[in-house]
Structure 1
Amino acid sequence: MGKSKTTKFKRPQFNSVGLPVTVVKEGDGEEEEHGDDSCPAAELLEKLQSPSADVREFACASISRVVQQSQTIPGFLQRDAVRRLGPMLLDRSLAVRETATGALRNLSACGGQEVCEDMVKHDIMTPLTALLRECCAGFESAIVSMKDQSNAVEDVANEAVHLLWNLCESSSQALSVFNKSGLLDVVVQCLEKHPHNLELAISAAHCLHTVTEDNPELLCSMNTAVLGALENVLLSSQPGVTQTLLRTLAAGTLWNMKSSLPAARQAETVNAVVATLSQCLDLDAGMLIPELRQAEELRHRNAPAVSDIEGQAPEELAEEEMIEEEEAPKQKRNGKAAKVDNDFSDLLPRGKEELREATALLTAQQTSLEIIVNMCCSDDPSDDEWEEESSSDESDMGPDGLCDGVSNLMSPLCLSAEVHGALINHSIPQKVLKKTEFPKKETVNLCHQNPSWRGLIKKMERVQSRALTCLHSILSTMDAESLGGATALQEAAQHLSSMVFGAPEIPKDEEFLEAVISAMRSLLQMIASKNIPQCMTPQQLMSLSETATRCDVVSVRVNAVAILGITGSTLAKEKGTAETLQMIGNALLQVATKDPELVVNGEALDALFDVFADGEEAETAAKNISLLPALKALQPVFKTKVPKINSSLLICVLDNFSIFFQLCFFFFFLPWKYTKHLYFFLISPLHCVNSPLNNNSFFFPLPDS
């Protein structure tokens, strides 16, 4: 069967797909549809030239609001908004600087990758870099006249760092400028403000977590000052959930920097990173969120509603500004918008401290789980592993996002002794399993009751999905003994079974289904390899597979048929299972014949060979479903599909195909006269092109026709 590999999370892609907010791009007729009279861009951009700082500030704040409606963004871009807003970053008024940076930040967040790249193309990095340097130079000279009063310079810096973060996560050119302009030290200065300006420090930590991932050029410039600043954050003892988020981001950044750490400190740093993640996962969102909601209600009862903006009470303002999952981003103070992935932990309006804490908690736990997933990904494969994995590089895969689907087919992963020991010593597998539980019904109902808190429901569900993906990673990289042995594995299987089959019908949410079925596949593989009795009935697994094979996500379908193969191969060793094997065989033949994706067809064939490889029950079932003619009938299916697919995808698929066709030749009861046709039509096209598979040693010569 295909090997299992976890998908590495890349910051800030929390949701494993692209950006949920996209720019509405119309054709050339958009100008006519949204003529100058209906588009506010022209008037607002004209006001940027006003001699009055108040007018310029008003214009920037208005642009911040308007661009959150993504259909308005093309109108601003057509009028050269980036070039006209750029000079505002260095305006003599700090208020204009802050609102102008907020407008560009919203433009980058709501416009997505293409808009970010366009902003960088229009040289927004030059004034942004200058602004950040001026802000950091002004940190020491800025005077705060009142205790707890926000520092205006640091407010501007917070907007600027957030804009920088948006650009660097979406544009490789922006990241290159970051590396060459020495902005690392500037962002670290912002991080060091954490004792008294947590908001700025968290923005800086998010930025650092993003720019240090897969960025060897930047890692070469790391120094002891950067490492010291991160360790100070990691080891800080400030209480509070928001501080937990800050420490989690610092832990993720240190993990990204692991190759730059002195050898003598690597084990110590890994242990500190895992300890931080463990402490984060210890927090119980199901208990803390109701407490925070109750605290908010109590605060509002004890204090009169104070107008923040033109007579609006904070609660009313927050409900207007709060983003919900199903809506486009709404405005917050100074026109700040939520990020496109709806991760708005530091973007909530002032006066919503409890909601900010709750969101920070869920963001921290989601980030912790993603870091653990990345820790379980082998970044330094051996030579043998590299040959197997190079053909399936997730960044080079073919169309339709198949990289996510096929990443689960590759070679097993391995953990270093330091990482393995740290994960076990801090009980990470047990804590991850705990986080896979459904959000508490009482907590979900509480969030449903208030529009401002409703967006937390999706974040709780995402934490659960990340935990399931993390469980899959752990199962793929650890042995059964490290995970507690047969009893612990059976309990985990029962837990996953109750999650999937406990409801009246199997959940159809794609993100959840993708995560739970990958975890289930890894767990069943381990259970089968140890001959541990399974707790899920074949009928349940058939029901799951039926739901999964209707899912649009390729990896879900791949894992579904793999689970059928695992179950069938186990049942084939038992007596009286022929009828069940027939049911599984028919299901796999349907997938092998009808699924539109070759990688799913291949996994189905792989599963068929596993199920019917040996045994009297398997032989009886194979005859009853006419397996020989059915396999022969697949010849034209693959003959038509192979020439049409992307060559890199074909190589990836054949990493698996080559193995099971040889197994077929050596172990399967089908005569070679049948299987050679399938083999010929799958492999022969590769020998007609310049393919790296031509010299692979595991391919035996093509059969004579």
Structure 2
Amino acid sequence: MGKSKNKKFRRPQFSAEGLPVSAVKNVEDEEEVESPADELLEKLQSPCADIREYACASISQIVKQSRAIPAFVQRDALRCLGPLLLDRSLTVRETAAGALRNLSACGGVDVCEDMVKQDILTPLTALLRECCTGFDSSSGILPKSPKDQKNLLEAVANEAVNLLWNLCECSSQALSVFNKAGLLNVLIQCIERHPHNMELALSAARCLHTVTEENAELLGSLNMAVLGGLEAVLLSSHPGMGLTLLRILAAGSVWNMKSSLPSDRQAQILSAVVATLSHCLELDAGALVPALLGAEAVRCMAGPAGADGEAREGEMEEDEEEEEGDGSMRNRKTAKRDNDFSDLLPVEKVELREAATLLEAQQTSLEIIGNLCCSDDPSDDEWEETSSSDEGELCSDSVCEGNSSLLSPLCLSAEVHSALLNHNMPEKVLKKTEFPSSAAVEVCSKNRAWNCLIKKMHRVQCRALTCLHNIMSVMDAEALGGAPALQALAEHLSNMIFSKPEIPKQEEFLEAVTSAVRSLLQIMASKNIPQCMSPEQLLRLSEAATRSEAVSIRVNALAILGITGSTLAREQGSAPSLQVIGSALLQVASKDHNMVVCGEALDALFDVFADGKEAEQAAKNIHLLPSLKALQPAFKAKLRKERKGKYSPGQLCVLDNVRINLKRFIGYLESLP
């Protein structure tokens, strides 16, 4: 292909790791194992609120075991729990929402679709509206003090928002209901509670960040109240990691709505978005995490609060062990949500919650910056499935009347390019690729409760590498600091990859680092800038990557080989190295089961052996011409057989070009003396 593919981050899907804390009560182990669905569902009909609450809380706990879910679904648990969202008791509402939240999280897409089909969104919408009305009134359902009443109301809203979030991610019908029901304003009201209840505000902000992504229908309901609410959050300057994360999520939502922003405000809002992201990345998590852990130790020595926290660490660690990562997060239907477990941590673990929130904020910042560097042009990612949504299709007259769209695709890159450079974003992103610091990893590894942050810290590094890849894909060498900066970056990546005897095998890291190396080699090759990675090192990296199950990693590996080979072909005496590269590419092109990978291998071969005496000699030595002639019929037949359903139209278009170029390249080789 000869060009980099941008990796677009999508908000990850809710998974079993994100379970509610307040709505899940302790249930005896015997009940979890036996899963007494009939008995608990019967208790949901009890006239006693305490019994209904107990039944909901028991279901919440039991369905965390996925094997228990079918027993409840088959017995119509969704229909039984739905009406309890509007129960006369607020505590029953909270635990019912928590049970449904856990069912949706652990049951996955199928259970979420069932919830939508059984109209769970009708009582859920009514519940959210009642909660928002109750925020501003002293009236209540329970005879408690106004303060207790409001706290309980916010707890109910938090569970309801998380349920809504999951449904909208898993079901397009749920997203359509969200749009038509005007729930955008409900989320803004919840976000505005941040001075009083940061947990609720963050849940609503995460949901908003998700539902505004590639949702053209929603943009028609965007109004100045929504924009004003998000701007107020962006401009907030109070201390605390919670507000830092809230501002980041607001910035991401604003960016998702960019095509509907008022034209006279776009430059100002873009500047505020990038400034918010920049400020977050300036925080030195490598120093802050150990400092927060130290502060916790001092506080625990001064009182007994720490003892309670130790008793509950096991619960949090169990959640963390199930964490799964999806480096590029392209598919909103299958990608797992990152384990944003800060709302699961014990309340007394203040410093640990702060550290977890900081890492989530920096990860999200890097994802948003990566998306800023993704063009709306589908050709920027030829091998990826093109988006079917058009964010600019619908637009509210009240907001964007006469909008010439400063942030339109024609001038988006220039505006973002300027904003990123003004805030030294390439340098800040590069700094995060050096994360996590050994000091932070060491202190967390020695503390049972804090050990769970190590994966989070490594994920920040992976996001930074992918973000760096996107930046290099859209900026020229001069904007990135010229030859010296690029050579320093090559040395940095080389140390990161080759400092250990074996190439790291973690899939998330391997995808991120191969993407970054690919973009760096490409831009250096285009400017004839020497780099420190040897062909032998790059071959080792590519060999490790081509053994990966992930298509994107194998594609990156082949592109790296193609760039390395085409650069070597210009050097005298490089024929032996070209033979090794050519043989590796031929092996993949003829044997890989995925047509996208085969196509990339062939395309790399075209680049490596396109011209030059060294390339001609190497091609003859590895019998490239007869090998390609033998491969051609099989490639055409496989493409014809698999073109329906398995690959996107964009991928098929590229594969057709490879097929045509293969025929032409064979003709070129036949013409050589």
- TM-score, L = length of structure 1: 0.83
Which residue of structure 1 lines up, in the alignment, with residue 613 of structure 2? 616
Cα offsets for 1:568-611 (capped at 9, x unmatched): 11111111211111111111111112211122122112111211
The 1:178/1:192 distance shift into structure 2, 3 A limit, reads same
Which residue of structure 1 lines up, in the alignment, with residue 352 of structure 2? 355
Cα offsets for 1:237-283 (capped at 9, x unmatched): 11111110000000001101111110011011011000100111111
**Residue correspondences, number:** 625
Give unpaired runs (5+ residues) of structure 2.
19-29, 325-335, 389-408
Which residue of structure 1 lines up, in the alignment, with residue 164 of structure 2? 164
For 2:31 and 2:62, how far apart are their aligned partners in 1? 16
After superposition, residues 498-517 of structure 1 pair within 5 angstroms as: 498-517=495-514
Which residue of structure 1 lines up, in the alignment, with residue 367 of structure 2? 370
Q: Secondary structure at the match of 2:265?
A: helix
Which residue of structure 1 lines up, in the alignment, with residue 65 of structure 2? 69
Q: CA deviation at 1:390?
A: 8.7
CA contact (8 A) 2:134 2:150 kept: no
Is structure 2 residue 487 aligned with structure 1 residue 490?
Answer: yes
Which residue of structure 1 lines up, in the alignment, with residue 443 of structure 2? 446
Cα offsets for 1:347-385 (capped at 9, x unmatched): 323222212111111111111111111111222x3xxx7
Which residue of structure 1 lines up, in the alignment, with residue 110 of structure 2? 114
CA contact (8 A) 2:602 2:662 kept: no
The 1:266/1:113 distance shift into structure 2, 3 A limit, reads same
Q: In the alignment, which of 75, 79, 95 is matched to residue 99 of structure 1?
A: 95
Is structure 2 residue 248 aligned with structure 1 residue 248?
Answer: yes
After superposition, residues 18-97 of structure 1 pair within 5 angstroms as: 38-97=34-93
For 1:126 and 1:20, how far apart are their aligned partners in 2? 24
Cα offsets for 1:601-626 (capped at 9, x unmatched): 22112111211111121122222222
CA contact (8 A) 1:108 1:166 kept: yes
After superposition, residues 310-459 of structure 1 pair within 5 angstroms as: 313-327=308-322, 341-379=338-376, 381=377, 393-394=385-386, 415-459=412-456
For 2:414 and 2:517, how far apart are their aligned partners in 1? 26
Which residue of structure 1 lines up, in the alignment, with residue 119 of structure 2? 123
Q: In the alignment, which of 598, 614, 624 is matched to residue 595 of structure 2?
A: 598
Is structure 2 residue 538 aligned with structure 1 residue 546?
Answer: no
Cα offsets for 1:622-642 (capped at 9, x unmatched): 222222222222134314422
Which residue of structure 1 lines up, in the alignment, with residue 208 of structure 2? 208
Q: CA deviation at 1:667?
A: 11
User: RMSD over aligned Cα, in angstroms?
Assistant: 2.9
The 1:250/1:259 distance shift into structure 2, 3 A limit, reads same
For 1:368 and 1:36, how far apart are their aligned partners in 2? 39
Q: Secondary structure at the match of 1:313?
A: helix
The 1:270/1:593 distance shift into structure 2, 3 A limit, reads same
For 1:354 and 1:288, how far apart are their aligned partners in 2? 10
Is structure 2 residue 647 aligned with structure 1 residue 655?
Answer: no
Q: CA deviation at 1:102?
A: 1.1
What amino acid does structure 1 have at the position aligned with 2:39? E
Q: CA deviation at 1:305?
A: 4.4
Q: CA deviation at 1:218?
A: 1.1
What amino acid does structure 2 have at the position aligned with 1:3? K
Give unpaired runs (5+ residues) of structure 1.
23-33, 307-311, 330-338, 397-411, 675-705
Which residue of structure 1 lines up, in the alignment, with residue 24 of structure 2? none
CA contact (8 A) 1:88 1:100 kept: yes
Q: CA deviation at 1:224?
A: 0.7
For 2:271 and 2:297, how far apart are their aligned partners in 1? 40
Is structure 2 residue 476 aligned with structure 1 residue 479?
Answer: yes
Q: In the alignment, which of 510, 518, 523 is matched to residue 521 of structure 1?
A: 518
The 1:584/1:152 distance shift into structure 2, 3 A limit, reads same
Q: Secondary structure at the match of 1:628?
A: helix
Which residue of structure 2 lines up, in the alignment, with residue 30 of structure 1? none
CA contact (8 A) 1:613 1:668 kept: no
The 1:5/1:120 distance shift into structure 2, 3 A limit, reads same
Cα offsets for 1:529-576 (capped at 9, x unmatched): 000012100100111111111111111111111111111111111112
Q: Secondary structure at the match of 1:369?
A: helix
